[in-house]
Structure 1
Amino acid sequence: MVSNDAAMLDLAAPTLPAPVIDALRHGRLVDPFGVLGPHRDEYGIVVRAVMPGAASMQLTDARGETVADMVRLHDDGVFAGRLPGFAQGHPVAQDYRLRVRWPDGSEQTSTDPYAYTLLLGELDLHLFNEGRHLQLGSCLGAQCMTIDGEAGVRFAVWAPNAQRVSVIGDFNGWNPARHPMRLRHGSGIWELFVPEAMGAHGGSRYKYDLTGPHGHAVPDKADPLALATEIPPATASVVACTGRDAPPFAWNDADWMKRRAETDPYAAPMSVYELHVLSWQRAINDAERGWDILAERLVPYIRDLGFTHIELLPITEHPFGGSWGYQPLSLFAPTSRLGSPARFAAFIDSCHQAGIGVILDWVPAHFPTDPHGLAEFDGTALYEHQDPREGFHQDWNTLIYNLGRNEVRGFLLAGAMHWLEHFHADALRVDAVASMLYRDYSREAGQWVPNRFGGRENLEAVAFLRELNSLVRERCPGALTIAEESTAWPGVTASVESGGLGFHFKWNMGWMHDTLRYLSHEPIHRPWHHSDMTFGMVYAWSEAFVLPLSHDEVVHGKGSMIGKAPGDDWQRFANLRAYYGFMWTHPGKKLLFMGGEFAQWREWNHDDELDWALMDQPAHRGIHSLVRDLNRLYRELPALHAMDHRPEGFQWIVGDDHQNSVFAYLRRAAPDSADVVLVVVNMTPVPREGYRLGVPCAGTWEECLNTDAGIYGGSNMGNGGRVEAEASPSHGQAHSVSLTLPPLATLVLRPLSGATG
């Protein structure tokens, strides 16, 4: 490596010592701004440039008039020339241009990248190093902008331990000698402005060429702050013109954003349709119009089904499609497989105008080891921990972010804000939170490093998650964070001020595992597993929960939702209908993975689309119709959603009828409210006549949903649509009803107006 040593330079003539020329032509100069660009001496100004492959170069004035020919110092394209008429003391400014003539006769005239002064402000650098710069998506990376009247792209990348960094791309033939970058000492950030006249513009592909701290070559790196990328398996970053000079996306969701900010998420219905975009329908796999096609097809589908939100498996760019997005490398770039970032914004805008919220799965727990990615980014363990006991996920062969480093913590926080603020996402579902919280996660003794107090808790991760959740509440009114956390860590949804992690909701993995295990048992065996359905109420108020039937439950040999149910085909469909009825009436927000809404038989395969042809079969259409009606009922009846997080909203009527596998409970919209529903679940194929249950008020009770109805594919057994409450106390209630319980079915009843307590 060659440093800028004035003694090595013959400034009296446009020439350079051989070692400096050699460093220039190979892109190994430590301080390119110390040699390239304009430099004043007692003779005037000498300008040096590297332009491999150029036939000749000239210096021109701002009007394009030639003022001097540049001398070729080496055949590899090292040039130097003097600006005539510039006396000592004359300002350099941007008073000249570089004109390049290529062997094919074409010309290129541009300002000199090495004539620009410092690009990033000191405040930007300071905030970045403190981990408090939350607008990194418009600061680092590739930003389209105009400087001193010249359009171009400002590149900036954090690589504090690199000896040198060059930006390489379409605009310079991927040659590191063309555009070596300037280090902003103290910050570790390298920067360079490449004029558009040199070929850098929106759509340009680029990477960074680095030399590590010991002089070793580092694999060419994609930009950690890239706003767009090539379509995998290609690995280059792409300049996306969304910088400060680019017009912002014209959002049309002001009404939605206002309503969102004014809504109490705990008292509002939330029914989530989770999907993997690329395998929902194969027609969406269109690199130009994917997001547009999804908007055209998914939005009306979700509106018809009545889900309040969709949740997308990670759409942050990821090299390996088989990871489903859970091993992302570009945390600021929506996947290029479906179109541009602007089209993704338009998709979210379409959802909002249709009244549908958008939840994004987000992965701050780990990242893959692909050589073009974050692994040993500057030749050192920069984003990850150096010690594999802290920095390597044994389960997933991935690397763990070093959350104790300010810049890494800030990188992730800025990424979260990018999706919520720039793209108007309504929530982030944070993946693999349990793996972040415990230093010994999936590790044996001796395979992990204790915290500073000798414990297993990852204190840096706890601090990061608390900061994340505090920032979301402060900066993004109405936006939510949801934790996928599978342990009994206390206070996941408790406020940061009270010592919690500060999430709005947590996936209730225990409820999901228990109830699916119950569903898988033959009805004759269910009396011995009754508590699998009731145990969730023991801890239901310890957190604010989402009940998830997610993608993880329909892959890797676990079978589909309908495949988990026992019996012949009729019983399987009936079991699933009854189970969905139980889920939609149980305290907690709802989440269902795609395909479950019409009972797909096959496990989910990310390489195939859903089996949409099943919608032509009555039994599958019946499940689809039931999910639609469950969503409608759930939204329309406050008793089913307004007190999801409070014990006053739930009361067991029958929770111990093991022998008959019957469950009955009340849901209320407010404490002691007359706005109440009765839910009865019969999980055996045996009809039960005259089953008496206590109710809180007299009068007529309407059977507003029966999962055994013929329109859903059931036997159409029930109570004729209504039943009269009698003045016969039962189950601690002043009145009671005598019901016919259909086989493998859930009933939902409510008192008609005028009913009295």
Structure 2
Amino acid sequence: MRIRLDEAHYFLPEGTDDLVHGRSADPFSILGRHNMGKVDVIRVLYHDAAGVRLVVERPRGRPVERPMRRMGGTGLHIGTVPAGARYHLKIAWADAVEETADPYSFGLLLGDMDLYLFSEGRHHQLDRVMGAQPMVVEGTAGVRFAVWAPNARRVSVIGDFNFWDGRRHPMRLRHAAGVWELFIPGLGPGERYKFEIMARDGHILPQRADPFARLAERPPATASVVASAEPFGWQDAAWMETRAGRQAPEAPISIYEVHVPSWRRPGGDASRVMSWRELARELVPYVCEAGFTHVELMPVMEYPFGGSWGYQPLGLFAPSARHGTPADFAAFVDACHQAGIGVILDWVPAHFPNDAHGLACFDGCALYEHQDPREGVHRDWNTMIYNFGRHEVRGFLIASALMWLERYHVDGLRVDAVASMLYRDYSRREGEWIPNIHGGRENLEAVAFVRQLNETIHALVPGAMTVAEESTAWPGVTRGVAQGGLGFSYKWNMGWMHDSLNFIARDPLWRGYHLSEILFGLYYAFSERFILCLSHDEVTHGKGSLLARMPGDVWQRHASMRVFFALMWAHPGKKLIFMGNEFAQDGEWSHDGEIDWHILSDPLKAGVRQLVSDLNHLYRALPALHARDCDPEGFAWVIGDDTTNTVLAWLRMAPGHAPVLVVFNLTPVIRRDYRVGVPVGGLWRECLNSDATAYGGSGVGNGGHVMATDEAAHGHPHSCALTLPPLAALYLHPVREGA
């Protein structure tokens, strides 16, 4: 029997059974266009289609439609077009007809250099390469998907557009990099999607969210969402041009730390959180009025569990959908910048949660994490530790950091839990950790990652800052990488935080015996570039509020809060306090509510907030208080040994500017005619008194001015006799002639 020539094109290629049943590792070997001399054979797979037609496009004339032959019950449809002819598909479903380009008609998508740099861990714009990228390919609009899963047998894109059927859109593997790719025509921003991954042994893993997604569903939903590629229209050029100077060691930096969901609940409704647009309208003016230079947001990268406060993120490239779209987040940053406020984000490269839709055993093997739990599991938090020794993982994390700084104009990243990264035995008992290649406890791979991170950021985003939450005495945290350091811009001074809080919580009767708790921090105050922090960690986990730690009656507790803040702002180092502390909140912070705005009707609370505002404005206005925050030349002791009266005094200085004398009376006893040595004679202005009635104090002071005489004291040629208010601080500076 004579067979027509074109019948030879209609056969089931080898591997069809694997393709039909979702096991194929190479769908492009069967699907799409395949040349057979003068014709191209087109194969498509649509299990539930009633019929599929080829629409052959011609240079001149109307397109020609050709039916495709359904190959039995396989779902495979085959047809032919003239060699090289453009075509698209017309698919008849049970209730509609769809016209679309063929996803398997497109060639390789990712460039070889992109893949090479990804494998080397040196691709700095992975947010523009991996994940879901809306684009036009060969004149066709759609979305290019790319995901790293080198150990997978098969990876498919699934979503509403294919009824979450992993057989519909299996991806192509780029073997050299272990990256799977596919362009799906007709999709655009707003589409929900995930990846269906078949492990090496053939079992289907739980559906995975996209590690590189720039948008996700609002939790508890877990799908990734295709984000718009449209650039944001920034209006912050003036800020960006001056940012480097605003964040330099010589600049005043005072940071307001915010947990966005619980700063304020709209209308007091505990079930709602503020959007980025609402936050721009309310938080920005609040921060400006309070005099802070920056806001620091606890992690806003997408995270599944609200109780983690964001510190267990899975979407390192996506602003949390709890508060709006990526464009909304950009608008918030833009509003901050236009108001002269910098934005710092808490960023977590130390670990990630083990949620089923996340990164753990992403392609059936330990990919982002270590295989051995002695290296790969954080027992404190039951989370997974990133494998910093793997190029692709380092590149993933560094690209995330760069995206926030470049795409969203964020001014700095505070890197969380650095100590847990640096030590292999962090929070582990003997036998629960593996020494490094030299037999030591240092995590050499994490050290290399941190150095690469900081070098890359400082080279590519000059003016941006990185801040380490490092709770040990690791040397050189803020020293340059070239000098053997880790390369951070600043380090949280957690030792000062713990020592000073221990001191101020003591009964004033005994504080004189414990001045070392205050003095010790000044021995190492200039060993790093420090930020003094009173963070969220100090008002949770049963610690209560800061105010609750203060001894005495209600008035004394608030007075101790005031003198403590005045001491902090006078101490060398940049400043950070957590929301609610600025008005001496009574209760422990809860992420499920909002800070206690209603207590501001209490004059004592309003007074503390006014003091913090005045401290911020004074700190910014007087260079002596900030220009040498990180330089020992900016500090000089005057009194550090008066254990009888529990009085401290020191000078803050800056070249070319008047010095500031700060004096602290840490007991509730008024000290009259207390003589303090000063370097300059004449009139000194009392520019701040934390006992002022406007702050809720008793109003004891020096009438706003004091005269320094030629009587020498404390190693200085002049001195002034002061009235020291109870539990209070005084700031004074000399008045120039004619001032």
Distance in 1 (CA, whole Å) between partners of 2:345 and 2:540 is: 20
Q: 1:454 to 1:288 in 2, by over 3 A?
A: closer
Report the counterpart of residue 239 of structure 2 in structure 1: 256
The letter of the residue matching 1:749 is L
Distance in 2 (CA, whole Å) between partners of 1:442 and 1:357 is: 34
Kept in 1: contact 2:265–2:272 (CA 8 A): no
**1:15 paired to 2:6:** no
Report the counterpart of residue 118 of structure 2 in structure 1: 128
Report the counterpart of residue 147 of structure 1 in structure 2: 137
Report the counterpart of residue 692 of structure 2 in structure 1: 709
Distance in 1 (CA, whole Å) between partners of 2:389 and 2:22 is: 33
Tell me which of 70, 78, 89 is aligned to 1:98.
89
The 3-state SS of whatever aligns with 1:298 is: helix
**1:184 paired to 2:182:** no
The 3-state SS of whatever aligns with 2:466 is: strand
Identical counterparts, % of pairs: 58
Kept in 2: contact 1:704–1:750 (CA 8 A): yes
Superposed, 1:351-430 pairs within 5 Å as 351-430=336-415
Q: Deviations over 1:289-308 (max 9, x none)?
A: 70000000000000100000
Q: 1:11 to 1:496 in 2, by over 3 A?
A: farther
Distance in 2 (CA, whole Å) between partners of 1:428 and 1:739 is: 43
Kept in 2: contact 1:699–1:754 (CA 8 A): no
Distance in 1 (CA, whole Å) between partners of 2:474 and 2:172 is: 46
Q: 1:101 to 1:79 in 2, by over 3 A?
A: same
Tell me which of 431, 437, 442 is aligned to 1:452.
437
Distance in 2 (CA, whole Å) between partners of 1:424 and 1:442 is: 35
Q: 1:580 to 1:623 in 2, by over 3 A?
A: same
Q: 1:444 to 1:679 in 2, by over 3 A?
A: same
Kept in 1: contact 2:265–2:273 (CA 8 A): no
Q: Deviations over 1:93-125 (max 9, x none)?
A: xx0111111111x21111111010000000000
* CA deviation after TM superposition for structure 1 residue 74, in Å: 4.2
Distance in 2 (CA, whole Å) between partners of 1:264 and 1:324 is: 26
Distance in 1 (CA, whole Å) between partners of 2:126 and 2:68 is: 39
Q: Deviations over 1:523-570 (max 9, x none)?
A: 112122111111100101100000000000000111111111111100
Q: 1:674 to 1:612 in 2, by over 3 A?
A: closer
Report the counterpart of residue 280 of structure 1 in structure 2: 263
Distance in 1 (CA, whole Å) between partners of 2:24 and 2:542 is: 55
* CA deviation after TM superposition for structure 1 residue 419, in Å: 0.4
* CA deviation after TM superposition for structure 1 residue 45, in Å: 2.1
**1:497 paired to 2:482:** yes
Q: Deviations over 1:177-203 (max 9, x none)?
A: 11000001111000000001xxx2100
Kept in 2: contact 1:286–1:338 (CA 8 A): no
The 3-state SS of whatever aligns with 1:443 is: coil
C-alpha RMSD over aligned residues = 1.7
Distance in 2 (CA, whole Å) between partners of 1:530 and 1:478 is: 38
The 3-state SS of whatever aligns with 1:660 is: coil
Q: TM-score under structure 2 normalisation?
A: 0.97
The letter of the residue matching 1:366 is H
Distance in 2 (CA, whole Å) between partners of 1:227 and 1:11 is: 47
Q: TM-score under structure 1 normalisation?
A: 0.94
Distance in 2 (CA, whole Å) between partners of 1:309 and 1:26 is: 55
Report the counterpart of residue 214 of structure 2 in structure 1: 227
* CA deviation after TM superposition for structure 1 residue 236, in Å: 0.6
Q: Deviations over 1:695-732 (max 9, x none)?
A: 00011001000000000000000001110001000000
Distance in 2 (CA, whole Å) between partners of 1:384 and 1:59 is: 46
Distance in 2 (CA, whole Å) between partners of 1:694 and 1:132 is: 57
Report the counterpart of residue 58 of structure 1 in structure 2: 53
Tell me which of 537, 542, 549 is aligned to 2:527.
542
The letter of the residue matching 2:660 is V
Superposed, 1:228-377 pairs within 5 Å as 228-242=215-229, 247-263=230-246, 265-283=248-266, 290-377=275-362
Distance in 1 (CA, whole Å) between partners of 2:735 and 2:429 is: 59
Q: Deviations over 1:411-441 (max 9, x none)?
A: 0010000000111000000000000000111
**1:679 paired to 2:677:** no
The 3-state SS of whatever aligns with 1:96 is: strand
Distance in 1 (CA, whole Å) between partners of 2:443 and 2:725 is: 51
Report the counterpart of residue 78 of structure 1 in structure 2: 76
Kept in 1: contact 2:262–2:273 (CA 8 A): no
* CA deviation after TM superposition for structure 1 residue 473, in Å: 1.2
Superposed, 1:472-551 pairs within 5 Å as 472-551=457-536
The 3-state SS of whatever aligns with 1:659 is: coil
> Mind listing any 5+ residue stretches in structure 1 that lack a counterpart?
1-9
Q: Deviations over 1:661-685 (max 9, x none)?
A: 1110000013xx5510100011111
Tell me which of 639, 646, 654 is aligned to 2:631.
646
> Mind listing any 5+ residue stretches in structure 2 that lack a counterpart?
1-5
Report the counterpart of residue 712 of structure 2 in structure 1: 729
Distance in 1 (CA, whole Å) between partners of 2:549 and 2:207 is: 47
Kept in 1: contact 2:40–2:84 (CA 8 A): no
Distance in 1 (CA, whole Å) between partners of 2:38 and 2:56 is: 19
* CA deviation after TM superposition for structure 1 residue 755, in Å: 9.8
The letter of the residue matching 1:691 is Y
* CA deviation after TM superposition for structure 1 residue 75, in Å: 4.0
Kept in 2: contact 1:676–1:751 (CA 8 A): yes
Distance in 1 (CA, whole Å) between partners of 2:514 and 2:196 is: 60
Kept in 2: contact 1:348–1:425 (CA 8 A): yes
Q: Deviations over 1:231-279 (max 9, x none)?
A: 111111000022xxxx311111111000013446100000000000000
Distance in 1 (CA, whole Å) between partners of 2:341 and 2:442 is: 37
Q: Deviations over 1:464-492 (max 9, x none)?
A: 11111111111112100000000000000
* CA deviation after TM superposition for structure 1 residue 582, in Å: 0.3
- Once the two structures are overlaid, the 10-residue window that deviates more, 483-492 or 655-664, is 655-664
Distance in 2 (CA, whole Å) between partners of 1:366 and 1:268 is: 33
Report the counterpart of residue 3 of structure 2 in structure 1: none
The 3-state SS of whatever aligns with 1:45 is: strand
Q: 1:687 to 1:470 in 2, by over 3 A?
A: same
Q: Deviations over 1:58-86 (max 9, x none)?
A: 00023773431112224463322222xx2
The 3-state SS of whatever aligns with 2:173 is: strand
Distance in 1 (CA, whole Å) between partners of 2:49 and 2:64 is: 17
Distance in 2 (CA, whole Å) between partners of 1:169 and 1:651 is: 65
Distance in 2 (CA, whole Å) between partners of 1:34 and 1:339 is: 42
Distance in 1 (CA, whole Å) between partners of 2:378 and 2:616 is: 39
The 3-state SS of whatever aligns with 1:510 is: helix
**1:110 paired to 2:93:** no
* CA deviation after TM superposition for structure 1 residue 91, in Å: 2.7
Kept in 2: contact 1:26–1:176 (CA 8 A): no
Q: 1:123 to 1:288 in 2, by over 3 A?
A: farther
Kept in 2: contact 1:287–1:336 (CA 8 A): no
**1:556 paired to 2:536:** no
